[in-house]
A and B are shown apart, each in its own frame.
Chain A
């Protein structure tokens, strides 16, 4: 029920935005001395302003993570997607095998020097807006391998990270929490259970 009420509130916000938009359009028509049917002048501004809230809402509630496991944390990532936790119920749909269909990259495991180019390439293949979650100690700070000669000390040295999850390995529930944090960061209305 909370969700519905928030939806109503959101609708009101969108309506208000539309009214503002009408005003903006009228102003700009006046300023550029245009006839009323020449709407295309500020069309990009118009769409951006009107569509921001609905698009954010949609993005928030369908985060598609990439099926990409590096090491131990990938076991918990599998558990996150399977029967007990069932991530789909909160909008994290099926794990996609290709980066081109994904919104979030969950880096689950230690990153060696030879994986860095692959990681960067996968990140660049993802469409914007894209988000990165550093899942586990190794991806956050190097974890137990901080002395190793072949491991980088945290993926934030190569990629911009949105959410860090601590633990070795973190329980699947903490990944759930991380994705809720990510949803809040994206900025739309978060579905509550």
Chain B
């Protein structure tokens, strides 16, 4: 048969942002997928060079708008390493609570949008958005903002957790744990859902390493690698964190990894709240005349909801001389062409949904 080229996007409801795909199909079978990116490029790395260290948090949050807390923490940690500032003990626990809450919110958003993509299960989207909103309300209570928190400070956080936050969190977590169980039963007994995810978009163990994918995509292919445990930052090891690993390698395995991760995050938040020591968690105030960096360059990696994020910073006197960002979504997008070859065209968005991309993270 003859091959045809189909253009999808750049503005399409299922691409989660502005992504253009040129798909070569033979009949209904995908031969090649060519992603065209850069529609959201705004030059974050360049802009960061003209701002003081702590002014850049605003830009870093907008890298991944589904999980702003994770990116700002990554950036602030890089600056901390550069300036040689230690994080207070209570602040470490507070950060773990905020980061894991953000991870649950991000994964809930992914679940809703992916179910919407694979067969107009719009009620699922409504339910997960309801749950996500409860977490956003918690984060708003803790930081004062609904979406872009700008809450991390050098050595701690801007605000300590407010009074009554623990009880609210326990209530919300109980409710979310209950609904996650419901979603699991509901989805895994749904033949349409299983049909569209099982054995679709298989990424083998070897290819996952070769393509450099990280996060739930890598763990879905059976590789036990999680930065939270492997480089053991904050109190993750002490809190008994165990990464979720699945061996299937298909879209369903990625779904299962994320569902398990949400469960794991819930128990992490609970444990962190229980074991949290009393004391001071406040960081240094933002000063426009910053401290003098102790090291020339710093590199920090963190487990973001979408995978391993890395920031490399070369110091100048008051601001970064150079900032390089390893965006997990950008690397994971590279796997799209590989895993969708040979699949049906209709499965393309199930695969794209299971990779969980945020285009602002890809384009920087």
Question: Which residues of A are interface residues toward B (Cβ below 8 A)?
Answer: 67-72, 74-76, 78-79, 82-84, 97, 109-110, 112, 114-115, 118, 122, 144-145, 147-151, 168-169, 171
Q: Does B259 contact A (CB under 8 A)?
A: no
Q: Does B349 contact A (CB under 8 A)?
A: no
Q: Tell me which residues across on chain A come within 8 A of B129, comparing CB atoms.
A: 78-79, 82-84
Q: Which residue of A lies closest to B136 (CB)?
A: A79
Interface contact tally, CB-CB below 8 A: 83
A to B CB contacts below 8 Å, 7 in the list: A70-B18, A71-B360, A74-B65, A115-B18, A144-B59, A147-B47, A147-B50
**Most chain A CB atoms below 10 A, which of B59, B62, B66, B129:** B62
Query: Shortest Cβ distance from B7 into chain A, in angstroms?
Result: 12
Q: A118-B10, A150-B41, A151-B42 are in contact. List 8 more A-B contacts (CB 8 A).
A: A68-B13, A75-B65, A76-B147, A82-B125, A82-B126, A83-B129, A97-B12, A112-B41
Q: Tell me which residues across on chain B come within 8 A of A144, comparing CB atoms.
A: 58-59, 62
Query: Shortest Cβ distance from B68 into chain A, in angstroms?
Result: 8
Q: Tell me which residues across on chain B come within 8 A of A151, comparing CB atoms.
A: 42
Q: Are B62 and A150 in contact (CB under 8 A)?
A: no
Given contacts A72-B62, A115-B18, contact A148 B11 (CB under 8 A): no
Given contacts A79-B133, A115-B18, A168-B148, contact A72 B360 (CB under 8 A): yes
Q: Are A112 and B65 in contact (CB under 8 A)?
A: no
Cross-interface CB contact of B42 among A68, A84, A110, cutoff 8 Å = A110
Contact residues on B (Cβ < 8 Å of other chain), bracket: 20 to 34
Given contacts A82-B125, A169-B147, contact A114 B39 (CB under 8 A): yes
Q: Are B47 and A69 in contact (CB under 8 A)?
A: no
**Most chain B CB atoms below 10 A, which of A67, A68, A112, A169:** A112
Q: Does B187 contact A (CB under 8 A)?
A: no
A72 and B40 alpha carbons, distance in the complex (Å): 11
A109 and B16 alpha carbons, distance in the complex (Å): 13
Q: Are B13 and A67 in contact (CB under 8 A)?
A: yes
Q: Does B5 contact A (CB under 8 A)?
A: no
Q: Are B18 and A145 in contact (CB under 8 A)?
A: no
Q: Tell me which residues across on chain A come within 8 A of B126, comparing CB atoms.
A: 82-83
Q: Does B342 contact A (CB under 8 A)?
A: no
Q: Tell me which residues across on chain B come within 8 A of A112, comparing CB atoms.
A: 39-42
Q: Are A72 and B125 in contact (CB under 8 A)?
A: no
Given contacts A70-B18, A144-B59, contact A115 B10 (CB under 8 A): yes
Q: Which residue of B lies closest to A115 (CB)?
A: B39
Query: Shortest Cβ distance from B114 into chain A, in angstroms?
Result: 13
Contact with A along B39-60 (1 / 0, CB 8 A): 1111100110010000000110
Query: Shortest Cβ distance from B2 into chain A, in angstroms?
Result: 28
